[in-house]
Amino acid sequence: MDNHDELVYLAFDLGASSGRAILGRPDPAGRIGLEEIHRFANTPVKTDKGLFWDIEALFEQMLQAMRFVAERGIRLRAIGVDTWGVDFALLDENGEMLERPRCYRDGRNSGMSSRIVERIGAVRLVGRTGSMFQDITSLCQLTAAAEDTPDLLARARTLLFIPDLLRYWLCGSVVSDCTVASTCQMYDAVRREWATDILSELGLSAEILPPITAGPAIAGTLSRTIQEKTRLGAVPVVVGAGHDTGAAFGLCNTEDLPPPEDLVIISSGTWSVLGIFVEEHLQAGVLEPTRFGYEANPDGSLRIIRNLTGAWLIEQCRKVWSASGVDCSYETLVAAARAAAGEDNASAIIDPQWEGFTHPTEMPAAVAEYCRSTDQPEPQTPGQFAQVIFASLAESYAEAISELREKTHQPLRNLYMIGGMSRNKYLNELTGRRAGVSVIVGPAEAAATGNVAVQMQAVKK
């Protein structure tokens, strides 16, 4: 039974595959207890114009979760929203969306990062933004919009990243924070300012970019319209950890963990974001910008990150197997993968970042195709596929850790696994052996926990 006098925090944690509404209850010792009250799917919609997020449906699911809270008589101290990075919506002069946000996997972004580098120069772009050279960045998407839909872009007056858009619909505040801004390749996380010169050279307007908050803050309170729809009162809405990975990494610089020079962190969901804490950018040219970049933590500090494929491969395989009536629970697949280890048809190592895994018709067929093209045995059973995928993920983690050791001259002997994939003990074991690290398992709901922690900081100010 709920304690109606208890003050509770509501975290919306939206990933590229699903979203959750989670209640956070801090105890007197500062530990945060979590209760998931609503879960919903997040699937992009393909049209003849491209690949889009059904953002209105996601927001309606958020409202439904808030109604559940109201029905239980729970008093909310604050609400926070975190999501995946890079994607955004464009609003017109009336604050209305010009079109649904495009998904970072939209085909029109293909090859855009190389074209931008040709125009700006690799060294200058890295030095100014610190972002990885990937076709999915907001800068690539905005440049693609300028070429593909120039009339629409000309009508844009405001750009809001996904968490900012959802927060705007909750309370009307137009604001962003450094965690999500640092994913976009338009923000200088060291100087904490928009890289307006880069945008100008690409013929893009910086006037549509939102202001950035400095640390956790209250953006506003639920609008009257949202209060009426949800039957909640004027609950504060917090800004400060809009990027799910930023929220998760905000938990990891603590005294009970190894020191930064000896710690690698992997926050793993659909993507696995591997990172280490640093005080400043390394010397230009040390890191390969197609492999590594910089992002900001909620307090504004920096981390070096490598975006790697995470649960995407196995999740897409599970969809195919499930449709065929195959038992594909994680427990079953992990056990089957262990049993398949050592079998010839489970010995392949694939590149999880291979382009063919981005938009496959069927993921098992894409994995088999990769194995054929590289003269490796093809897996035949779900267990063999799972073994190939888990071993390949572990190998990609190990390669990134080895490269970071070489580039930073830090020992990095410990790996802190957080996020949903941290519960995969077999993957942790494979990674520990291949990377030569001691694996420490952290919270599976790291982003939601970090989201609540930032809310607590904001309301105490």
- Residues annotated as catalytic (active site), given as ranges: 244
- Other Cβ atoms less than 10 A from the Cβ of 341: the count is 15
Q: Whole-angstrom Cα distance, residue 109 to residue 145? A: 9
Asked if 293 and 130 count as a contact pair (C-beta separation under 8 A), the reply is yes
181, two tokens: 């801004």
Asked if 69 and 116 count as a contact pair (C-beta separation under 8 A), the reply is no
265, two tokens: 């962190």
Task: Kindly state the greatest CA–CA separation across the chain.
Answer: 64
Q: Are strands 236-239 and 217-221 parallel, antiparallel or unpaired?
A: antiparallel
Start-end of H helices in 409-461: 425-435, 446-460
- Residue 436: CB partners within 8 Å, gap ≥ 6? 398, 413
Asked if 13 and 447 count as a contact pair (C-beta separation under 8 A), the reply is yes
Query: What sign for the dihedral angle of Cα 109, 112, 114, 116?
Result: negative
460, two tokens: 């105490």
Q: Whole-angstrom Cα distance, residue 288 to residue 187? A: 19
Q: Whole-angstrom Cα distance, residue 102 to residue 100? A: 6
327 phi and psi, to 5 degrees?
Answer: -70, 110
Asked if 146 and 112 count as a contact pair (C-beta separation under 8 A), the reply is no
Give the DSSP H or E segment for 124.
Answer: helix 122-129
Q: What is the dihedral of CA 257, 259, 263, 267, to 10 degrees?
A: 50
Asked if 82 and 104 count as a contact pair (C-beta separation under 8 A), the reply is no
Q: Whole-angstrom Cα distance, residue 341 to residue 432? A: 16
